[in-house]
């Protein structure tokens, strides 16, 4: 059950990364991250990381599987996700730009191309770093249909940059039962106990899977997409100010229990705000907090399995996300750029209405295989 072990590890990593991201971006209203994208990026580094640097990366991912098993897991996952058409489009894209004077080892390039669907391109960072930045941003823009245009801001790449690792998952799916445009109405969304905003609220009366957790003091509702390959789970605190408590109490066990208890189908009047999130988060400090310290150190980073000469450290990790939810479905793109120089959920209680009119969490998940693609929260749509 190696795949289950990796899944459990990635679930733990997902929550740790999400909690650290919201902690370090406490002033951001809406936030979303794709732990899958970050984990895939770290896994490509693990293929070439050595000694204590590799040990730290294993600790960050909370994984005990070997590099080979981790590599095989992502290879199969990427292959499975690309079979969702025509019901949903899930595109996994990855590219590594390498300084031509610091070439990658041939066996490393071959492995990441074969197992992580990564393309490798040699560029001249030393003399044309701005042109390389623009080329990388152009490639990302093409892969995301222009939803993410400037992944790498000016100043991140310079003449000393040795490589850029780009990883992404792009999701486009349509609701199994689309919301009717004529039912969308302005409605109050309570940002907190003192502030509110008027938002466009989607509405429909349909059958949904629901659950409730007394420990988390929150309800969950799953919105399926066509083909039932992808779904969005809304986790709504019982109280207007309950998001902080929900995030504090959420553990892998409790999240698994909540998701597995999404089995009772009920007729529900669902009101859900339309929202769009387009954010950029630097994850260097978050990953250092999670244990990846050597990776960013010029003195001790050991990525000697990647480069033919030298052992440059990782300079930064930039995570760009785009999520849009409207009447038709959801559209999401999550990108990462890495540069080198216990209480279980109870059965749902009966309720006819599920009104998302205060801060909430959401998950975008694939169902075959079962994996969380993105996790986020909305405080102000």
In the predicted model, what is the mean pLDDT of residues 313-324? Answer: 84
CA distance linking residue 338 with residue 243, whole number of Å: 31
Q: Give the pLDDT band of residue 351 (cuts 50, 70, 90).
A: low
The mean predicted confidence, pLDDT, of the chain is: 88
Could you tell me the two tokens for 122? 């040699």
Instruction: Say yes or no to pLDDT of 260 above 70.
Output: yes
Domains 2-174+277-340 and 181-274+343-378 share a fold: no
CA trace torsion 68, 73, 78, 80 (10° rounding): 140
- What is the pTM (predicted TM-score) of this model? 0.91
Taking alpha carbons only, the member of 161, 141, 109, 155 closest to residue 335 is 141
Q: Which residues of 186-196 are buried (b: 16+ CB within 10 A; e: fewer)?
A: ebebebeeeee
CA end-to-end span of the chain: 40
Q: Give the CATH number of domain 2-174+277-340; options: 1.10.3210.10, 3.40.50.740, 3.30.497.10, 1.20.140.10.
A: 3.30.497.10
Q: What are phi and psi of 3, to 5 degrees?
A: -65, -40
Per-residue model confidence (pLDDT) at position 167: 77
> Are 73 and 2 contacting, i.e. CB atoms less than 8 angstroms apart?
yes
Q: What are phi and psi of 70, to 5 degrees?
A: -65, -45
Per-residue model confidence (pLDDT) at position 17: 92
Instruction: Say yes or no to pLDDT of 21 above 50.
Output: yes
Count each helix (H run) and each strand (E run) in the chain, helices first. Answer: 9, 15
Fold classified for 181-274+343-378 = Alpha-1-antitrypsin; domain 1 (2.30.39)
Task: List Cα–Cα distances, 219 to 15, 244, 346, 353, in angstroms.
Answer: 18, 15, 10, 11
The contacts of residue 46 (CB under 8 Å, 6+ apart) are 54, 57, 58, 61, 67, 70
Instruction: Say yes or no to pLDDT of 49 above 70.
Output: yes
Q: What percentage of the chain carries pLDDT values higher than 70?
A: 97
Domain boundaries, the chain: 2-174+277-340, 181-274+343-378
In the predicted model, what is the mean pLDDT of residues 206-219? Answer: 94
Q: Which residue has the tokens 């590099």?
A: 67
Per-residue model confidence (pLDDT) at position 116: 84
CA distance linking residue 292 with residue 278, whole number of Å: 26
Q: What percentage of the chain carries pLDDT values higher than 90?
A: 46
């Amino acid at each position: 059950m190696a795949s289950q072990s990796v899944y459990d590890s990635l679930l733990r990593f997902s929550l740790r990364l999400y909690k650290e991201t919201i902690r370090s971006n406490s002033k951001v209203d809406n936030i979303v991250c794709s732990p899958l994208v970050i984990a895939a990026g770290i896994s490509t580094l693990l293929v070439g990381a050595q000694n204590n640097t590799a040990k730290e990366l294993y600790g960050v991912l909370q994984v005990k599987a070997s590099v080979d098993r981790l590599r095989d897991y992502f290879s199969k996952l990427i292959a499975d996700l690309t079979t969702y058409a025509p019901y949903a489009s899930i595109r996994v894209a990855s590219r590594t730009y390498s300084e031509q004077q610091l070439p990658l080892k041939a066996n490393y390039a071959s492995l990441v191309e074969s197992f992580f669907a990564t393309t490798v391109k040699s560029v001249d960072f030393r003399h044309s770093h701005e042109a390389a930045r623009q080329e990388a941003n152009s490639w990302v823009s093409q892969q995301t249909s222009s939803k993410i245009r400037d992944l790498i801001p000016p100043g991140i790449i310079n003449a000393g940059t040795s490589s850029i690792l780009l990883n992404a998952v792009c999701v486009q799916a349509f609701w199994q039962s689309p919301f009717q445009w004529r039912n969308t109405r302005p409605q109050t969304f309570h940002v907190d106990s003192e502030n509110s905003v008027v938002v466009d609220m989607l509405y429909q009366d349909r059958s949904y899977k629901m659950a409730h957790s007394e420990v988390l003091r929150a309800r969950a509702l799953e919105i399926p997409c066509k083909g039932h390959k992808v779904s969005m789970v809304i986790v709504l605190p019982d109280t207007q100010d309950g998001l902080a408590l929900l995030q504090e109490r959420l553990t892998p066990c409790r999240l698994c229990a909540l998701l597995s208890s999404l089995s009772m189908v009920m007729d529900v009047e669902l009101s859900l705000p339309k929202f769009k999130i387009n954010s950029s988060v630097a994850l260097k400090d978050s990953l250092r907090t999670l244990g990846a310290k050597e990776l960013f150190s010029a003195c001790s980073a050991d990525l000697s399995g990647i480069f033919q000469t030298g052992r440059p450290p990782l300079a930064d990790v930039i995570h760009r996300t785009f999520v849009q939810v409207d009447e038709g479905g959801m559209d999401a793109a999550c990108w990462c750029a890495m540069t080198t120089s216990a209480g279980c959920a109870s059965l749902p209680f009966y309720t006819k209405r599920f009104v998302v009119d205060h801060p909430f969490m959401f998950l975008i998940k694939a169902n075959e295989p079962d994996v969380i693609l993105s996790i986020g929260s909305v405080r102000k749509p």
